[in-house]
A and B are shown apart, each in its own frame.
Chain A
């Protein structure tokens, strides 16, 4: 079990980092598949190279996963003896309205953050893909939120939104003195805003890379045919970015399932239970209420949810997704 600690600390320390390395692996896998195509004789050697990754995967993912599954059938409080209590935790979870509320909230946050982040990142990514100096400067500014940790961002926003001592008081703008984190709807809006603010730079970066891969010749041909910038964007840029969109969406959506640190610091799940998503519910049940067994049920649900959505998004890409987008060019 001590092996699982490393991953915990890494994961909980900077969730963003974890998600980013996930992105690296997606791209890495693609690169590997491509290289296999051109060097099919090296396949045997490459299979052996997979071994360390497989071992790591077993130790850090499968073993804790099985452990959590086992714990979900116990009444462990984290300190005392571990007693099996059958499917009691599962029955309680599935008959608990607050579980469904947390599940619904998780989906709501997932959908809303995707809807907000994707168009903005896509536009910003396309914009910053140009080579003018002012764009490079703006790109640097856009990427600043990416450098901050979720906890620091949450603390900063919490201070800024304080109705008595925050922005409203500093700028003498009473309109800003809303009960931002005290009204259920407003608090949810703030969470979605801050999450988007934090992650749009990262996805902009992905889209910027994607746009730069699109051959200039496509645009030149379109210009000759008389297509304007808007038409070029919708008929060349967006279709060419199909796989970038899938990669970025996978990261966004799977990340949204496990949003924790930012919400934990910003609202703690409140007011009431207005922002208590599944990941936060799992933490509070496990570590605050000492019900590790019950929390493990939530954890298993989260895993199934995350993997299911990731697989589904992969399927969206269609059968040809590993072929080069530039084939035949």
Chain B
């Protein structure tokens, strides 16, 4: 009796514990409300919550639905991080919405290679009006093996070196034009007890922005293009090693604020450091402008926010006008969608995405939509200096590199972020970084 009950109890204990041990694994299962199938001719779309995109997308779809009674678009909104996991799972399970929101690049490539999204090349050729109003540079991240798998939309967001004008005046300093200027400013500000550069290092992609621009300024666009093309040992390019070494020199010189590894970008603490005068400079996406304007009190309206092109490096090959960042956002059509759903999606692509009303709404929100010929509209806003700068730097860039974590495949991107984290904490050398990353080429 003792023995019998004893084994039963062990068994039941395990029955109780096993699900705990496997709860994480079963996440591999299918999930998601993919079956948003409405009436014939209606299509579904997943997009992101949060201002200003949420409101703009909702209004755009409401307008479209009112004008097209028989072809409705049903919108479901998710938070950014939740969406990224959910959309992958849904696509893997063949339950994707008709219109798939994304960031192009490596993620789109995995969808395209698994034949989960439609090739839009011929449709765009037949509809030049749709294609020609958009920035040509935005199509790069939507193109895989010469075919376009997504329609660029929304806004362009280059990475910009922001600075606090008040602190520069206090230090009697000028914004940096070269890397040597930047290193000198590091000393200047540290001597004044002000952190030279704000960085939310815990988020990892924030540190990545420094590498992207350094690779470009030292070695030009070819360095990363080689990586992207899968060239063997591309990360060991001497220019890449020089850029990595320079970054570690900046870390050693206390260029980045003390404790930057504890700071995350999702709480906007890095922006707060800049507008509260705790740090003098910050390299960040153009999208932070709106946040600093909203949260920084008099900082932006009072004209205390400055911005410059990323410094050049002596002997470097990269053009100071080269940009990196997000060339736009992307919308694909699921290959699992029915013919009616595809028609509705294409109709929305042509009429809804970046319609004149949507363009005005984006500009009003302090962002630059990827539409050509909007100079006058930008010049009429309160933020005309900044918006015009963003517009021109995106339009005139000889090369606009999509953010690495989106350009690379998810496998390589995760390895990259992990190695960047270790590079910035100086737990690996530039050589080790290069060899770790070389191992991910082609994956």
Contacts and interface: CB of A to CB of B under 8 A. Distances in A.
A271 B261 contact: yes
Given A68-B22, A289-B414, A29 B29 contact: no
27 contacts: A2-B30, A18-B23, A22-B17, A37-B1, A37-B5, A53-B15, A67-B26, A78-B92, A79-B91, A79-B110, A80-B114, A159-B267, A162-B262, A162-B267, A164-B263, A165-B269, A165-B272, A182-B262, A270-B421, A271-B202, A273-B421, A279-B24, A289-B415, A303-B22, A310-B13, A314-B10, A321-B9
Contacts of B113: 80
A320 B310 CA distance: 72
Contacts of A161: 262
A60 B30 CA distance: 14
A283 interface: yes
A22 B263 contact: no
A254 B9 contact: no
A216 interface: no
A68 B264 CA distance: 33
Interface stretch (A4-12, A103-111, A217-225, A234-242): A4-12
Given A165-B272, A270-B261, A292-B28, A303 B21 contact: yes
Contacts of B6: 319, 321-322
B21 A257 contact: yes
Contacts of A262: none
Contacts of A180: 262
A258 B421 contact: no
B16 A22 contact: yes
B20 A255 contact: yes
A84 interface: no
A268 B202 contact: yes
B204 interface: yes
A286 B110 contact: no
B272 A61 contact: no
A60 B427 CA distance: 41
B111 interface: yes
B110 A68 contact: no
Interface string B77-112: 000000001001101100000000000000000110
Nearest to A25: B16
Contacts of B410: 77, 288-290
Contacts of B262: 161-163, 179-182
A323 B88 contact: no
Given A67-B26, A158-B264, A290-B88, 19 more contacts: A2-B30, A7-B22, A15-B23, A23-B16, A29-B13, A61-B22, A64-B22, A71-B28, A77-B410, A77-B411, A78-B92, A164-B269, A165-B269, A179-B261, A181-B202, A184-B425, A273-B422, A286-B27, A288-B410
B24 A260 contact: yes
A36 interface: yes
User: What 3 pairs across the A-B complex have the smallest Cβ distances?
Assistant: A11-B23, A182-B261, A25-B16
Contact of B9 (A24, A181, A289, A322): A322
A173 B2 CA distance: 60
A57 B18 contact: yes
B116 interface: yes
A-side binding surface: helix, strand, loop or mixed? Answer: helix
Contact of B202 (A10, A79, A182, A286): A182
B9 A250 contact: no
A130 interface: no
Contacts of A164: 257, 259, 263, 269, 272-273, 278
Contact of B422 (A21, A61, A272): A272
Given A8-B29, A271-B421, A311 B23 contact: no
B24 A299 contact: yes
Given A163-B259, A322-B5, A254 B20 contact: yes
A29 B19 contact: no
Interface residues of B, number: 65
Interface string A59-84: 01100110110010000011111000
Interface string B132-159: 0000000000000000000000000000
B421 A12 contact: no
B411 A18 contact: no
Interface of B: 1-3, 5-6, 8-10, 12-31, 85, 88-89, 91-92, 110-111, 113-114, 116, 201-202, 204, 257-264, 267, 269, 272-273, 278, 409-411, 413-415, 418, 421-422, 425, 427
A29 B9 contact: yes
B114 to A, nearest CB: 4
B82 to A, nearest CB: 11
Contacts of A78: 28, 88-89, 92
Contact of A64 (B1, B25, B421): B25
A111 B17 CA distance: 19
Interface string A248-284: 0010001101101000000111111100000100111
A13 to B, nearest CB: 10
B303 to A, nearest CB: 24
B25 A296 contact: yes
Contacts of A305: 21
A8 B26 contact: yes
Given A29-B12, A33-B8, A182-B260, A290 B29 contact: no
Contacts of B12: 25-26, 28-29, 32, 53
Nearest to A23: B16
A57 B22 contact: no
Q: Which one of A4, A159, A284 has the highest number of Cβ atoms from chain B below 10 Å of its Cβ?
A: A4
Nearest to A67: B28
B251 to A, nearest CB: 12
A15 B259 CA distance: 30
A171 interface: no
A191 interface: no
A79 B92 contact: yes
B260 to A, nearest CB: 7
Nearest to A299: B25
B28 A25 contact: no
A19 interface: yes
Nearest to A288: B414
Contacts of A184: 425, 427
Contacts of B427: 184, 272
A79 B116 contact: yes
A1 interface: yes
Contact of B27 (A12, A19, A77): A12
A145 interface: no
A25 B6 CA distance: 15
Nearest to B412: A289
Contact of B20 (A1, A18, A288): A18
